[in-house]
A and B are shown apart, each in its own frame.
Chain A
Amino acid sequence: MASLYQRFGGGLATIFIALVFLWLAGMVLAPNVMMIDYALRPNLPPAQIGGPNDVYSLDNILYLANEAVHRSIFFKTIWASAFVAFITFVVCYPLAFWLAQRATPGQTAIAILALTIPFWINEVLRTLAWYIILAFRGPLNAVLLNMGIIEAPVRWYGNIGVLAGMVYAYILFMLFPIYNSIESLDKSQIEAARDLGASTWRIHWRVVMPHAKAGIATGCVFTFMLAAGSYVAPALLGAPGSRWFTEVIYNWFFEGGDWNRGAAYALVLLVLCLVVVLATLKIARVSLTDVAK
């Protein structure tokens, strides 16, 4: 702090500190503290707030643990998000490797520009595009019927729709971290492995992937988090059988009218994401500083 005052003088430094304090205390910490407070209190009519019934308890969180439907949606969201991250990784890895190691600088520049275009377009529109493609009387069914691959139109909305839309939405969050980390791999290491007789699989498994560990971990963590916290893809591309945890949270707030329980559910989602993120980063030995790049 002293160096901040020394560098900018009293007036400016005070303004800077006040602004940052406003942000971190007022917009980051206080909302989360209040959410925890909400999550731990019962949902009471206004007259009883502050009364003898207004005590802290874990009831709202236990409710989630005991309610079979919500619990299964919660676990399904976890594994489905992990699955989304895995599929996104499989889709992105070969391209990331090609861009980082094989492509000419010109090819890389064009490919990256091409990749960023869908990324600049917002998630709702990207999801809307899939909504149109996957419609029951939509283009995908029409093409597949014409080619004779399917005999009757398929209902794509549901798990498949959500998967397609999410993988699509998060490609770049996976691709760029992996690309960046593979780029720093010295080509001669791959050549050395090949000269020593390693197969392509083995080269990737033992040389490229360990080197790109940080990037892979970052990409997977971000994709998982975005998928678990996504609302628009399951809402548009889902079916009643593919409900997402965020939809349950939304319903507590705007249909069930129980904000305390909604806050508790949101808290569980937050803790889950933080645990997954921090644990993965710890296992892959990636620091937070590298993630934000």
Chain B
Amino acid sequence: MSAADRIARWVFRFYMVAFFVYLFMPLVVMSAATFNTSRFPTVTPWQGTTLQWFSELWADAAMWQAVWTSVVVAFFVVIVSLPIGTAAALMLTSLHARARGLLYALMVSPLLTPGVVIGISTLVLWRQLNVGGGTFLIVVAQSSFIICYVMLMVAARLQRFDRTQEEAALGLGASKFMVFRRILLPYLKPSLIAAAFLAVLQSVENYNTTLFVRGFDTPLTVFIATKVRTGLTPAVNALALILITITVLGAVTYEILRRRNAAAAREAE
């Protein structure tokens, strides 16, 4: 191995370490600050280890209200976006190539629209109908782009669907509705579950769109961002730590399920 190669190898190692430190340091610092007695969340200086911020968080009624708002919004976003996203995917796969291109462009356009613009356009449309910002508009605005994700995930699975199964069922005397309910929906179920999961995550984490349509309601992300302005204490870090734990557990579960499904799919072939 030449000297140049050795240097290159060390540079690459340094880069890898720097990359993962950059990736995880913020999360570590934010989590660690939860246990510091300092009123402003930090890890330097360490003033003493405490769990007081968890109890302070527990007692924060406004925070629980924000959690509740986020849960309600996420629930309705799933209710709205799963059926529409599935319908869109089915429609897309049933169309001829030329018509499909245009429809597809329209369907993915919300993904290419900045989040603030989605919020603003929804807000101005509904003001014409005398509906102001609030939970309802948050659901509408978030759904308009979360449907895209559902559509893409369902469409990806539909591409591998074997249509002869439908024909066989029809041949055996099933109605078209029965075929949809008993053949296609069960086949799509894994992608629907994954899509629902992604929809919840997208909904809970959304800020840019939500900010414009929230009216006087305060979902969790808005609550956290406001706290930064009005008085940040490690109670917010405690909340962050809980959310991180939930998301990490969720991500790992999702990954395990995905791999299990992929393995099952491979075996089926």
Contact = CB atoms under 8 A, between A and B. Distances in A.
B50 interface: no
A292 B87 contact: no
Contacts of A207: none
Interface string A103-140: 00000000001111110111111101111110101110
Contacts of B83: 19
A3 B125 CA distance: 34
B218 to A, nearest CB: 13
A238 to B, nearest CB: 12
A27 B123 CA distance: 11
Interface string A241-273: 000001001100100000100110011011001
Contact of A35 (B111, B115, B121, B255): B121
A125 B114 contact: no
A95 B19 contact: yes
Contact of B106 (A24, A230, A266): A24
Contacts of A168: 22-23, 26
Contacts of B12: 94, 98
B229 to A, nearest CB: 9
Given A131-B232, A137-B42, 6 more contacts: A4-B95, A9-B176, A17-B87, A98-B12, A231-B207, A273-B113
Contacts of A117: 27, 247-248, 251
Interface residues of A, number: 84
Nearest to B43: A139
A236 B228 contact: yes
9 contacts: A3-B95, A7-B166, A8-B177, A27-B143, A123-B207, A129-B30, A135-B40, A135-B42, A288-B108
B68 interface: no
Contacts of A235: 225
Interface of A: 1, 3-4, 7-9, 11-12, 15-17, 19-20, 22-24, 27-32, 34-35, 38, 91, 94-95, 98, 113-118, 120-126, 128-133, 135, 137-139, 142-143, 168, 171, 200, 225-226, 228-232, 235-236, 246, 249-250, 253, 259, 262-263, 266-267, 269-270, 273-274, 277, 288-289, 291-292
Nearest to B108: A292
B250 A131 contact: no
- Chain A to chain B: the 8 pairs with minimum beta-carbon distance, closest first: A229-B114, A122-B205, A129-B26, A31-B121, A9-B176, A142-B44, A27-B144, A16-B87
B84 A23 contact: yes
A121 B244 contact: yes
Contact of B244 (A3, A11, A125): A125
A126 B228 CA distance: 13
A273 B117 CA distance: 11
B134 interface: no
B20, B24, B43, B91 — most chain A CB neighbours (10 Å): B91
A95 B116 contact: no
Contacts of B27: 117-118, 121, 129
A38 B27 CA distance: 42
Contacts of A30: 125
B255 A113 contact: yes
B195 interface: no
Interface string B27-41: 101100100000011
Nearest to B163: A7
Interface string B106-149: 11111111111110111111011000000000001001100110
A59 B246 CA distance: 49
Nearest to A29: B106
Given A8-B176, A118-B23, A250-B211, A129 B147 contact: no
A8 B93 CA distance: 13
A292 B104 CA distance: 10
Contacts of A250: 116, 211-212
Interface string B210-225: 0110000000010011
Contacts of A266: 116-117, 120-121
A24 B92 CA distance: 13
B15 interface: yes
A292 B121 CA distance: 23
B193 interface: no
Contact of A12 (B180, B201, B207, B251): B180
A200 B12 CA distance: 13
